[in-house]
Amino acid sequence: MPNKFFYMKFMRFVYLIILAATFLVIQVNSAKAQVKTDIRVNFAYAFQLGFGSYDIGGLDVKVFKLPLSYTFDLPQYEKLKIKIDSPLFYGRFRFKGTLPDGTRLTADQDIIAYIPGVELQYEVLDNWYLKPFGNLGIAWSISEKARPANLNIDSSTIYIYTVGLRSLYEIFWERFKFSIGNAILWAGNTTFVDGAPDESYGILENGLEVLHPLGFRIKGYEPDMSAFFIYYRYLPNAEFSRFLESPLKVENQYEISGTIGSATPLKLWVINNPRIGIGYRFGDLNVFTVNFGFPF
């Protein structure tokens, strides 16, 4: 009887080991099944970025922006302004990858996007502004090619949206201007095609800018220069697909940028007081950016 009892306990132990091993194999196979060969551009992120480039999982993304906008006062509301955004975008997406069997894949797509929006600018207290805003637009493919020829490129019309609230507080000291910016927003994109994934995420943004005139004039205008830092927290994580790998989940990004503009009022074509600068975002995803001033 003792030997039989020992044998039954031993067999039960072996059975549990086999069951656990089977469960582990199922989990591993399930994880591998999630690694797909399809590559998607995170359009909500790309066009919210505005003007910049990044490379991830064999996909090279470049986005260019023409920042058209117009701000006007409301005479009956002294502390309220309305800003009409009318930006145009051009997206250039290039993919290169190699399958396990050695087959090389390439796909090129060029996209145009128009994403207009409205922003209310309300001065709550002196130098403190709250700015609720919303943007909604479309992006469509203007050129695409793939190799081999049977490689599919989705050319569906893409709908892109952003909605949120920005806060800007400015502090003036001697000839310095310090700007504190905060924002919370929700961005996403969809194609309204059955089975196509919808991508969306929230962002918390916190930034600080320091600006100072350069102390000389060019044709009557005094240039100034600024530097700013922004922290981006994605809620939930923003996902970026990678060829033959699991998606990259972006949770945190940090941006360091510098800009140049004019301390005296200047109008260039239809743009009032233009600024331009370059920056670098780093963290879970590294991005080179061109900006048009402190984005708050």
Q: What is the pLDDT of residues 102-144, one digit of tens each?
A: 888 888 999 999 999 999 999 999 999 999 999 999 999 998 8
**Amino acid in the structure at residue 263:** A
Topology of the domain covering 34-291: Lipocalin (2.40.128)
Rounded to whole angstroms, the Cα distance separating 117 from 92 reads 23
Residue 114's closest CA among 157, 178, 174? 157
25-75 residue pLDDT tens: 323 333 333 445 677 888 889 988 889 999 998 899 999 999 888 888 888
Res. 86: pLDDT tops 60: yes
Please name the residues in contact with 36: beta carbons below 8 A apart, sequence gap of 6 or more: 241
Cα-based distances in Å from 17 to 9, 27, 28, 254, 267: 12, 15, 16, 46, 75
Res. 85: pLDDT tops 60: yes
Rounded to whole angstroms, the Cα distance separating 206 from 184 reads 9
Contacts of residues 118-126 at CB distance under 8 Å and 24 or more positions apart, as own/partner, are 118/82, 118/83, 118/84, 118/85, 119/82, 119/83, 119/85, 119/166, 120/80, 120/81, 120/82, 120/83, 121/71, 121/80, 121/81, 121/82, 121/83, 122/79, 122/80, 123/79, 123/80, 124/79
Res. 164: pLDDT tops 90: yes
Angle at 193 between CA 189 and CA 195, to 5 degrees: 95
**Averaged pLDDT, 283-295:** 94
Residues of the chain above pLDDT 90, percent: 50
Q: Is residue 162 within 8 Å of 200, Cβ to Cβ?
A: no
Rounded to whole angstroms, the Cα distance separating 160 from 192 reads 11
pTM: 0.81
Res. 13: pLDDT tops 80: no
- Look at the block and give the residue holding tokens 């009887």: 1
Q: What share of the chain is helix, strand, coil (3-state, %, to 5)?
A: 15, 60, 25
Query: What does the domain layout of the chain look like in residue ranges?
Result: 1-33, 34-291
Residue 152, helix vs strand vs coil: coil
Residue 65's closest CA among 75, 56, 78, 52? 52
- Find the distance separating the first CA and the last CA of the chain, reported in whole Å: 80
